[in-house]
Structures are given as structure tokens and as C-alpha cells.
């Protein structure tokens, strides 16, 4: 069965520092997709970044990058030069082989950026 | 910009009431989703629809039903609300060819 694990329930980071949010996953399917979403206090989930299991390069989107280590089954989110507005809940998610009905989310990591 | 709207941000209902949560998207997306979010549990899929009148059960469909009569609208129905259905409900949509989902602002439902 698929599984997503986020081991950090909460993190405090100084503004302008880089942040790494951990995510490990488990699946027996060779084809899968990995996502990160941000949820500010307003409640809306915001898509950040996507990595396909066959993608050779690590995904990057502006200040966000996904450190994809397939052999270790990890998909950590790296935020460079953190900002106060990055304070939010962050969720890692996995989709099984293009199956939109088979998406599972981790329990989330609450990130606090300190001024 | 993609817009997914939900009928209410906050809703308070009594046990046994029938509850309708409405979700509307304006981008002609094929797929729509209803999730439930609880602290420490992340998001869990309740139902998924890949076309008008088509639906698939997610991980926790018990106590819920859905309706998709028009492509832009996906409704979640609690036939007889119970206190354990107090939660945040999130609707999402996505086009068939996309990876990411677009989420609405959520409805925080309290059942007394």
C-alpha cells in the first residue's frame, strides 16, 4: 500500500535561511508522482511543485526545489531564502500512476519563519 | 486564473440534518474532488468525479454522497450529519492533462 510520511510536525526557521521539509514515501508502483502543497492560515491549498518518478532532474519552481532521491524513497522540499510569508502548513502527496483517485497526503509540517 | 469556489467558509449544523456543500469551478475541468482535512491526519479523499454524473469512492466515503449534474459543480451531501463529521472540507478540480489540483478555500463544518 502507498504511504507518505512527514516526520516533522513543526519547524522554526530564521528568516532568509534555507529550509528543508522531509518527506518519505512507500509504493510498489514504478510510476508515480510526488507533490508539495502549501496551506496558509487562510485554508486554501496552493500547489508548489511536482516530480514524476521517471523525471531525471530534480524539479524546481522559483525558490522551491524538490530533492528527489528515488533509491531512498525521499522527496524533500527545499525552500531557499525563506520569507515571513512562507509560514504555513506544508503537505507532501503522492499519486499512483496517473490515478487521480489514488492520491494520498502526508500529515503535514507546520513551518514558522522567525523575523 | 483558475477559480474554485465553495458555497460557505463556515457552517454550523445540528446532528441529523441534511447538509449540502457546494463546489464550483470556472475552468471546464474534467476532474473534481472532495477531501476532508483533520488535524494530524492530513487530507483524505472522500469522493472523486471524472465527468458529469460519474463518481468514484475515495478512502472515506461512508456517511457521504456526491452529485455532479453539471461539469462545473460538484456537491458533497451529508445525508444525516453526525458530530464526527465536524471537519474542514476541501474541494479541488483539475484538467485531465494536468498534474496539480486547484483547491477551493475550504468549508469548516461544525456539527453540534
pLDDT tens-digit map of B6-48: 999 999 999 999 999 999 999 999 999 999 999 888 899 999 9
Q: Which of A31, A68, A30 is nearest to A49 (CA)?
A: A68
Task: Look at the alpha carbons of A24, A26, A29, A32 in this order and tell me if their dihedral is positive or negative.
Answer: negative
Q: Transcribe A8-57 into DSSP letters.
A: -SEEEEETTS-EEE--EEE-S-S-EEEEEEEE-TT---EEEEEEETT-SS
pLDDT for A88-99, tens place per residue? 999 999 998 777
Distances (CA, A) of B34 to B66, B106, B107, B109: 9, 10, 11, 14
Q: What gap in Å lies between CA B57 and CA B34, rounded to an integer?
A: 10
What's the CA angle centered on B99, arms A47 and B92, to 5 degrees?
A: 60
Tell me, what's the pLDDT at A100?
77
- B99–A103: do the CB atoms touch at under 8 Å? no
At B49, the pLDDT band (50, 70, 90 cuts) reads very high
At A83, the pLDDT band (50, 70, 90 cuts) reads very high
Q: What gap in Å lies between CA A64 and CA A28, rounded to an integer?
A: 27
- A44: nearest CA partner in chain B: B105
- A100–B43: do the CB atoms touch at under 8 Å? no
Q: Give the mean pLDDT of A56-79.
A: 96
pLDDT for B69-78, tens place per residue? 999 999 999 9
Residue A107 has pLDDT above 90, yes or no: yes
Mean model confidence pLDDT for chain B: 94
Name the residue facing B100 among A42, A47, A52 (closest C-beta). Answer: A47
Distance from CA of A80 to the nearest CA of B (A): 22
Residues of A in Cβ contact (< 8 Å) with B56: 101
Tell me, what's the pLDDT at A1?
75
Q: What percent of chain A stands above pLDDT 90?
A: 84
Residue B2 has pLDDT above 80, yes or no: no
pLDDT for A34-47, tens place per residue? 999 999 998 889 99
Residue B99 has pLDDT above 90, yes or no: no
Distance from CA of A90 to the nearest CA of B (A): 10
- A44–B106: do the CB atoms touch at under 8 Å? yes
Count of H-run helices and E-run strands, chain A: 0, 12
At A2, the pLDDT band (50, 70, 90 cuts) reads confident
β-pairing, B54-57 vs B42-51, is antiparallel
Amino acid at each position: 500500500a502507498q504511504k507518505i510520511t512527514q516526520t516533522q510536525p513543526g519547524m522554526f526557521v530564521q528568516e532568509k535561511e534555507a529550509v528543508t521539509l522531509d518527506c518519505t514515501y512507500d509504493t510498489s508502483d514504478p510510476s508515480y508522482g510526488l507533490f508539495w502543497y502549501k496551506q496558509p492560515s487562510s485554508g486554501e491549498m496552493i500547489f508548489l511543485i511536482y516530480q514524476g518518478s521517471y523525471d531525471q532532474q530534480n524539479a524546481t519552481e522559483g525558490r522551491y526545489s524538490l530533492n528527489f532521491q528515488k533509491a531512498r524513497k525521499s522527496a524533500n522540499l527545499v525552500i531557499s531564502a525563506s520569507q515571513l510569508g512562507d509560514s504555513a502548513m506544508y503537505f507532501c502527496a503522492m499519486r499512483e500512476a496517473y490515478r487521480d483517485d489514488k492520491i494520498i497526503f502526508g500529515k503535514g509540517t507546520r513551518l514558522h519563519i522567525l523575523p | 486564473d483558475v477559480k474554485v469556489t465553495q458555497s460557505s467558509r463556515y457552517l454550523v449544523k445540528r446532528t441529523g440534518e441534511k447538509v449540502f456543500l457546494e463546489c464550483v469551478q470556472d475552468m471546464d475541468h474534467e476532474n473534481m474532488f472532495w477531501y476532508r482535512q483533520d488535524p494530524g491526519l492530513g487530507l483524505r479523499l472522500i469522493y472523486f468525479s471524472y465527468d458529469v454524473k460519474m463518481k468514484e469512492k475515495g478512502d472515506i466515503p461512508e456517511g457521504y454522497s456526491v452529485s455532479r449534474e453539471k461539469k462545473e459543480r460538484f456537491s458533497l451531501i451529508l445525508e444525516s450529519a453526525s458530530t464526527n463529521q465536524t471537519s474542514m472540507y476541501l474541494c479541488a478540480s483539475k484538467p485531465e492533462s494536468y498534474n496539480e489540483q486547484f483547491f477551493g478555500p475550504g468549508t469548516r463544518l461544525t456539527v453540534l
